[in-house]
Amino acid sequence: MNAITKKEAIEKAQESKVIQTICDGCCFCVSLDKSEEHNLNEYCEADRLESLKSQGGMIYSIVDESSKNSITKAVDGRVCTMMRNETWEEIKKSQGLDEEELVKEARKELEISCAFLIYMGKNEEASEEERLDNVLKTIQSAEDGDVKPGHFFIINNAGIKAYTVLTYLRKKLKELDIKTKWNMEYILEDSVKELEEKEAVDRCVDMIYKNINKNYYCIFKDGDIVPRKYISSIDNAMNDELKRFLVLQPKNGDISGTFIIKFAHKQFKGNRGGNLVDKIRTETEEQKCQKMAIDLESIVQDQS
């Protein structure tokens, strides 16, 4: 496609009804001589264009209206989350950041902040003390990850008294100097305790969903060890490789490690009428579109 004007690009996207990113106006946009050959990423100081193209974005040229001999780029079909305007640039520079630090700052703003849901179900083989120690192990392993958790929700469906859990965690987390916000969700309904584990987890997640204050949540059981690269691998896949998914689930269908984008929970009405992951898998298959529920192992390859 020959270079077109910004107005023509906007009209084309509106007519085709596709999402669009026009680089002109972004502080990372680079205008280059249209008579010379350049690699795609040379037009972007944040090196995003190659990744956007590899993930389905259609890249084309826009006439630089301030210099008719130069062009910038635009993308149809994908939104560039690294796009920042000149006002953002001015604010960051006033805070002391130099040109080289701006890209790192923008990328840092994208970093995933994920709520960790730690499920405690019935377990007659373990004592209360062992269960509480297990919760702490899971919290500590998440804290040791490359990317810190955004919030901990301890789902107490084990029948352990709320006071016992709260007293233990307040003491231990203070001793370990863990500052991540946390709270306990105490499940009062006896009927939920009688469900099979997977169904009980689904019900509990639906019950506390409105309290989740992050855009992403993941589920682990008490005693699980969270892989060190768990969130950083997902963050890299989403924000650097620009892969698209709504849900990640272990190949074996296990609960532990399941990662969900929160708006998908709302869009698919959570686990009402069936397991959320199963519903997403079924709908994408029926519509013959890109899979939105994929195996966790395809993203988090290092499980240590």
pLDDT at 117 over 90: yes
Higher pLDDT residue, 214 or 64?
A: 214
Instruction: Give DSSP secondary structure letters for the chain.
Output: ---B-HHHHHHHHHHHT--EEE-TT-TTB--EETTS---GGGGBTT--HHHHHHTTPEEEEEE-TT-TTEEEEEEES---TT---HHHHHHHHHTT--HHHHHHHHHHHH---EEEEEEE---TTS-HHHHHHHHHHHHHHHHTSSS--SEEEEEE-S---HHHHHHHHHHHHHHTT--S-EEEEE---HHHHTS-HHHHHHHHHHHHGGG--SSEEEEEETTPPPPTTHHHHHHHHHHTS----SEEE-TT--STTEEEEHHHHHHTTTTTTS-HHHHHHHHHHHTT---SEEEGGGT-----
pLDDT tier at 303, thresholds 50, 70, 90: low
Least confident of 64-78, 147-161, 220-234, 238-252: 64-78
pLDDT at 186 over 60: yes
**What's the mean pLDDT when you consider all of the chain?**
92
Higher pLDDT residue, 40 or 125?
A: 40
pLDDT at 23 over 60: yes
The pTM assigned to this predicted structure is 0.90
Domains of the chain: 6-88 (no CATH), 112-298 (3.90.550.10)
Average pLDDT over residues 11-37: 90
Average pLDDT over residues 246-270: 93
267-276 pLDDT, tens per residue?
Answer: 999 999 999 9
pLDDT confidence of residue 304: 59
